[in-house]
């Protein structure tokens, strides 16, 4: 079975409402390929390795969290960009990308799916369209170190944990490079905040405010939303779907 590219785009748009977000790059169709689609391949980032794997898998369209184009790029098609686009155009593959709309979705998004994967529940955004999710834990963690150890087991990364000694009953998280949202988590009165990355200020804030900060990996925290969403859309439309993991130590 195949569906039109427009129908596939409409299906994603109905779930994610991408026009509601002021994002760092274009959401939706980034590269136009064949008009009829029978198989979609999902992944985290439209890297050359992922594109090659999708070609080998027979993809008509790829859908990713990190697409090809970002605000501030110079717009030239040279080097690595040329190599990626050359592969895609040669095989007539559509590229769909959804960044912040995927992070924010309360059911299929990266935050919700990370919460379910970790056993915290899907959580709830701090406010409508917020990228920071919060949950009251049914089973508290003894301390931040216990939370970091579970993250390491479930995500396969060694987290950075600051202020590990406090017990954790309320938890906030935001996948990817969301260390700048730590203050919002502190203001929400949580015991710990989990994200993908850490910058210099967060260590001081964690120690001074008594809130655990855990950086568990950008890629590691963002690899659950896209396969869940793409699988859901493919099931609705009767399409074949495959998730391809390209390992990234980040």
Domain limits for position 123: 119-221
Least confident of 73-77, 83-87, 125-129: 125-129
What per-residue confidence (pLDDT) applies to 127? 85
- Average pLDDT estimate for 24-46: 98
Question: In this prediction, what percent of the chain has a pLDDT beyond 70?
Answer: 100
Which residues are CB-neighbours of 28 under 8 A, at least 6 positions away? 9, 12, 13, 18, 96, 97, 98
* DSSP annotation of 91: T
Give the DSSP H/E element, type plus range, for residue 42.
Answer: strand 39-45
Residue 250 lies in a domain: no
> Do 178 and 200 reside in the same domain of the chain?
yes
Whether residue 171 is predicted with pLDDT greater than 80 in this model: the reply is yes
> Do 51 and 142 reside in the same domain of the chain?
no
Whether residue 174 is predicted with pLDDT greater than 90 in this model: the reply is yes
Residue showing tokens 């391809």: 244
> Do 123 and 133 reside in the same domain of the chain?
yes
What per-residue confidence (pLDDT) applies to 157? 94
Please check if 191 is assigned to a binding site.
no
Residue 109 lies in a domain: no
> Do 39 and 133 reside in the same domain of the chain?
no
What per-residue confidence (pLDDT) applies to 54? 98
Residue 53 lies in a domain: yes
Residue 130 lies in a domain: yes
Whether residue 128 is predicted with pLDDT greater than 90 in this model: the reply is no
> Do 234 and 217 reside in the same domain of the chain?
no
- The answer to whether the CB of 169 falls within 8 A of the CB of 146 is no
Residue 113 lies in a domain: no
> Do 210 and 132 reside in the same domain of the chain?
yes
Please check if 241 is assigned to a binding site.
no
Rounded distance between C-alpha atoms, residue 134 and residue 126, angstroms: 6
Please check if 23 is assigned to a binding site.
no
> Do 228 and 208 reside in the same domain of the chain?
no
Handedness of CA 160, 166, 168, 171 (dihedral sign): negative
Q: What is the three-class DSSP state of 117?
A: helix
Residue 29 structure tokens: 């169709």
> Do 92 and 125 reside in the same domain of the chain?
no
Tell how strand 192-195 and strand 212-215 pair up.
Answer: parallel
Whether residue 180 is predicted with pLDDT greater than 80 in this model: the reply is yes
Q: How many structural domains comprise the chain?
A: 2
> Do 87 and 130 reside in the same domain of the chain?
no
> Do 123 and 217 reside in the same domain of the chain?
yes
Within 13 Å, how many C-alpha atoms sit on residue 213's CB side? Answer: 25
- The answer to whether the CB of 209 falls within 8 A of the CB of 185 is no
Residue 138 lies in a domain: yes
Q: Mind giving me the DSSP string for 130-193? A: -S-EEEEEEEEESSHHHHHHHHHHHHSS--EEESTTS-EEEEEE--SS-GGGHHHHHHTT-SEE
Whether residue 169 is predicted with pLDDT greater than 90 in this model: the reply is yes
What per-residue confidence (pLDDT) applies to 166? 85
Please check if 204 is assigned to a binding site.
no
Whether residue 181 is predicted with pLDDT greater than 90 in this model: the reply is yes
Give residue-wise pLDDT tens across range 196-237. Answer: 999 999 999 999 999 999 999 999 999 999 999 999 999 999
Residue 248 lies in a domain: no
Residue 114 lies in a domain: no
Confidence of residue 129 (pLDDT cuts 50, 70, 90): confident
Please check if 52 is assigned to a binding site.
no
> Do 31 and 83 reside in the same domain of the chain?
yes
State the CATH number of the domain containing residue 125.
Answer: 3.40.1390.30
Top pLDDT among 1 and 46 is at 46
> Do 163 and 177 reside in the same domain of the chain?
yes
Whether residue 123 is predicted with pLDDT greater than 80 in this model: the reply is yes
């Amino acid at each position: 079975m195949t569906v039109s590219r427009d129908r596939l785009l409409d299906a994603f748009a109905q779930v994610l409402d991408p026009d509601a977000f002021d994002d760092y790059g274009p959401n939706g169709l980034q590269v136009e390929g064949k008009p009829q689609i029978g198989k979609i391949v999902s992944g985290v980032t439209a890297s050359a390795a992922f594109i090659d794997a999708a070609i080998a898998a027979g993809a008509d369209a790829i859908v990713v969290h990190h697409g090809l184009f970002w605000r501030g790029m110079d717009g030239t098609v040279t080097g690595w960009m040329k190599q990626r686009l050359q592969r895609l155009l040669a095989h007539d593959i559509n590229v769909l990308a959804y960044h912040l709309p995927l992070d924010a979705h309360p059911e299929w998004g990266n935050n919700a799916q990370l919460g379910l994967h970790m056993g915290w529940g899907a959580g709830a955004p701090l406010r409508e369209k917020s990228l920071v999710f919060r949950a009251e834990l049914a089973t508290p963690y003894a301390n931040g170190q216990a939370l970091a150890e579970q993250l390491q087991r479930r995500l396969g990364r060694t987290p950075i944990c600051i202020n590990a000694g406090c017990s954790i009953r309320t938890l906030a998280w935001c996948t990817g490079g969301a260390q700048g949202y730590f203050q919002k988590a502190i203001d929400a009165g949580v015991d710990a905040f989990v994200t993908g990355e850490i910058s210099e200020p967060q260590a001081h804030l964690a120690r001074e405010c008594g809130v655990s900060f855990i950086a568990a990996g950008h890629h590691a925290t963002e690899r659950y939303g896209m396969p869940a969403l793409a699988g859901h859309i493919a099931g609705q439309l009767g399409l074949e779907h495959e998730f391809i993991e390209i390992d990234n130590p980040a």
